[in-house]
Structure 1
């Protein structure tokens, strides 16, 4: 194979893989030096000149001329006078011989091996470039085009044709894709799988919601408003604590926008996820009260050692605090980083009521938890509902409900 054809074909291949010229020259030189070492054992006295643009390749071997009877004649950088004069008849001892080595001198098999090695090195470099590019983009939003929908993941391509993936676990439950759709997500992580970079995107990460706020709210992007913490039940509900160091800026109002104009596009992107934006404060009692919004709490008792907090509310506020399926209290607990226990505040007429936890020796904990999810935490609050109401509002079976009601009635009898 002619050196010009080899260099030109490899240069074209490298350019198609977006490999820059200095890097391509370095790879070419590394491979040719490997060929030299295989044939001549060392490459110390060789120079390689590559002009990738013109397809030129020159390999020069430099040796010092010594007497035919010299002890150094077998050194790699020495040549006998008689051998040197076959190249140039007027050479003398002590002079340096510069001999050009042609590509064909290495043999066709070695040249073909070198070509395959070069292609593999460029492919490996391409993988490394892709890995480093997306490693630097972790936590940033990108947009890809859906090209294949599988049961466990959705595959996308970026603007350069690189493959990206959104696993099922990183998709919002309401996400529905068709081939050709555009999808936005953050780069969650980059892994090496079987030697290939795997770029994993996420739409469920709290960071995705944070980046959406940065893109839609200029004050967040400019740093005038700080997002302190984001907690999510993807596609269902989220709570975002925000703070501004400028008293002239209302952080909640700025994030929501006039008539919800700013937050509306975020909600739509997240498949109508209900987003509560609250003012962050160092006053933990006030912060907990805001976290449990829209419920209005009466009092708070924090137990620092156990990292728990007891919150007392009026009876009509309990279900609001707990939320649908326990979402509100679960997210509030994550936001304030404390385990929140909700208690019904009793008035004079309800002093004889008994908390359901008092029946833990007769009623299983999971049954009590199921009742608390719908705002029932006392015996009388359960007895105030019919069996049909309890069947409709909980996942309890009729037999379990009847047994539960009998236990509670006995307490008051």
Structure 2
């Protein structure tokens, strides 16, 4: 194989990857020096001169001329006088001989090995450059093209054709991708596994939602509005606490936009995920009330040591506070980093109703607590739900729920 072909093929790759000239020459030189070491045992007395642009290669072997009877004639950097005079007739002992070594002198096998080494160097450089490119970009938003959909992941190509992984666990439940689709995600994790970079993406991370807010809402991108906290049930519901550093800017209004124009773009990207944007405040009680939106809280008791909050609401507000499948109260608790217990406001309670605490002799305390966790603290509030609904929303077994309902029904017979 011609050295020009070897060098030009590598130089073309290096230029396409924006590899600087010194690195390019260093890689090429190492490949040819490896070939020299395999043939001559050392490369100490060799000079390798490469011009990547033209593909020119020169390899020179320098040796000192010694007398034909000298004991040094077998040293790698010595040459007998008789042999030196075959190169040039007027050489004398003590002079140096610079002899050009041609690629053809190494034989087909060594040249082929050099080619394979160069190919491997290219692959290693690609892997290293890919890792270096992404290792400091964790949390950044990226748009790629779906290349392949597999059972456990989607392979996404970036703008340079690098393969990135969007695992099934990092996809929103409503995500459906086909080859060629454009997909947005954040760089979630960058690892080097057995010398190969693994770039994992995420669409379920709160960071993904944060980056979408930065993209769609100029005030956040410019730093006028800050996102204080995000909690998500990906694809279903999210709560975003925002704060404005300018009193003239309403942070919630700026995020939602005129008639919801800004937030709708984000909602569509997330498969119609319901997003509650709330105004952050250092007033903890007010923050809890806002976190439970759209429910209206009547009063609350906060136990900071136990990290627990008891909130009291009118009966018609309890289901709003809890939300579908308990999502609203769960996200509100994560947003304020507290366990939230919901109770009906006693003043609003029907006089004919009976508090569950009155049944402690017949119903175990832990069962009553399970019902209280979903906002049920009176007999009628429990009986108002079906047996199936109670089983679904609590950790109680079906037969246990039936026994509890029988006990409560007897109270009103």
The question of a shared fold, defined as TM-score above 0.5 by the shorter chain, is answered with yes
- For residues 166 and 264 of structure 1, the distance between their equivalents in structure 2, rounded to whole angstroms, comes to 24
- For residues 86 and 359 of structure 1, the distance between their equivalents in structure 2, rounded to whole angstroms, comes to 112
What's the secondary structure of 2:235's corresponding residue? coil
Please state how far the C-alpha of 1:250 moved relative to its aligned partner. 1.5
TM normalised by structure 2 equals: 0.89
What's the secondary structure of 2:240's corresponding residue? strand
What's the secondary structure of 2:249's corresponding residue? coil
TM normalised by structure 1 equals: 0.89
Distance 1:366 1:188, change over 3 A: farther
Greater Cα offset, 271-280 or 311-320:
311-320
Question: 1:40-55 maps to which residues of 2 (within 5 A)?
Answer: 40-55=40-55
Please state how far the C-alpha of 1:290 moved relative to its aligned partner. 1.2
Please state how far the C-alpha of 1:38 moved relative to its aligned partner. 2.1
Please state how far the C-alpha of 1:160 moved relative to its aligned partner. 2.5
What's the secondary structure of 1:107's corresponding residue? helix
- For residues 355 and 94 of structure 1, the distance between their equivalents in structure 2, rounded to whole angstroms, comes to 109
The C-alpha deviation readout for 1:160-205, integer Å capped at 9, x for no partner, is: 2222232221111112223322221112123345543332221111
Greater Cα offset, 40-49 or 112-121:
40-49
Please state how far the C-alpha of 1:302 moved relative to its aligned partner. 2.3
Please state how far the C-alpha of 1:23 moved relative to its aligned partner. 2.7
Please state how far the C-alpha of 1:248 moved relative to its aligned partner. 1.8
Distance 1:206 1:359, change over 3 A: farther
Give ranges in structure 1 of 5+ residues lacking alignment: none
Question: 1:14-413 maps to which residues of 2 (within 5 A)?
Answer: 14-15=14-15, 19-193=19-193, 195-347=195-347, 353-355=354-356, 359=360, 362=363, 369=370, 372-373=373-374, 375-383=375-383, 385=384, 389-391=385-387, 393-395=389-391, 400-409=400-409
Please state how far the C-alpha of 1:54 moved relative to its aligned partner. 1.7
- For residues 193 and 367 of structure 1, the distance between their equivalents in structure 2, rounded to whole angstroms, comes to 51
Give ranges in structure 2 of 5+ residues lacking alignment: none
User: Aligned Cα RMSD in Å?
Assistant: 2.8
- For residues 241 and 301 of structure 2, the distance between their equivalents in structure 1, rounded to whole angstroms, comes to 21
Q: Is the 8 A contact 1:189 1:201 kept in 2?
A: yes
- For residues 91 and 361 of structure 2, the distance between their equivalents in structure 1, rounded to whole angstroms, comes to 105
Aligned residues: 408
- For residues 152 and 349 of structure 2, the distance between their equivalents in structure 1, rounded to whole angstroms, comes to 55
Please state how far the C-alpha of 1:237 moved relative to its aligned partner. 0.7
Q: Is the 8 A contact 1:63 1:98 kept in 2?
A: yes
Please state how far the C-alpha of 1:269 moved relative to its aligned partner. 1.0
- For residues 191 and 26 of structure 1, the distance between their equivalents in structure 2, rounded to whole angstroms, comes to 27
What's the secondary structure of 2:160's corresponding residue? coil
Q: Is the 8 A contact 2:289 2:297 kept in 1?
A: yes
